[in-house]
Amino acid sequence: MVEFEQKTPEELRRLLAAEEWQELFAEVAAVSPMDSPQDAVTAFFRSCRITAQFTLERMAVVDRATAERFVALILQYELAYKTPRLSRAKAIAAAAAFLHPFGTAARFYANIDLTPEILAAKEARASCTFCVNAHLFDSTFEAGLIAFDPAGVVGALFVGDED
């Protein structure tokens, strides 16, 4: 059995604790280095008692800058009505805190079809559609990111909302 050591940054917990969330999962853990992102992520969710199954090859692979913008965006606005949830500064700080434990070799997987155009439209709060490729919750609206660093860090941040 793979052993995980909880490593969720305290700054992230502090920034997210002040808000009410319909659904929120934000965890980071250390594990002995693993070559397979899929094996690490599966074991990580199992250790968190999450039963959802994720197939990383079906998820959008994004670079670190896109991952940070995406996480800030899903924390800043409710997904259902796009009403502000966190200030832009808090959302950016929370995104940076979540990604901080992941080194330069880390890989990031979004659960939506995340293209530069979709991200830009969402940042402009324009109407755009997206396809959710993997669910953590049973929420109508859901967005999240899985992060894997082969040096031994894995984590996920998911937000879910209902209308």
d(CA 137, CA 163): 14
CA distance 156 to 136: 10
Question: Which one-letter amino acid corresponds to residue 154?
Answer: V
Which of 67, 87, 66, 68 is CA-nearest to residue 76? 87
User: What pLDDT is recorded for position 152?
Assistant: 92
Question: What's the confidence (pLDDT) of residue 5?
Answer: 85
Q: Which residues neighbour 140 within 8 Å (Cβ) at sequence distance 6 or greater?
A: 80, 161, 162, 163
In angstroms and rounded to an integer, the radius of gyration of the C-alpha atoms of the chain is 15
- pLDDT by position in tens, the chain (length 163): 567 888 888 999 999 997 888 888 999 999 888 888 999 999 999 888 988 888 898 888 999 999 999 999 999 988 877 888 899 999 999 999 999 999 999 999 998 878 788 788 777 876 555 556 677 777 778 889 999 999 999 999 999 887 7
pLDDT at position 127, please? Answer: 56
pTM: 0.90
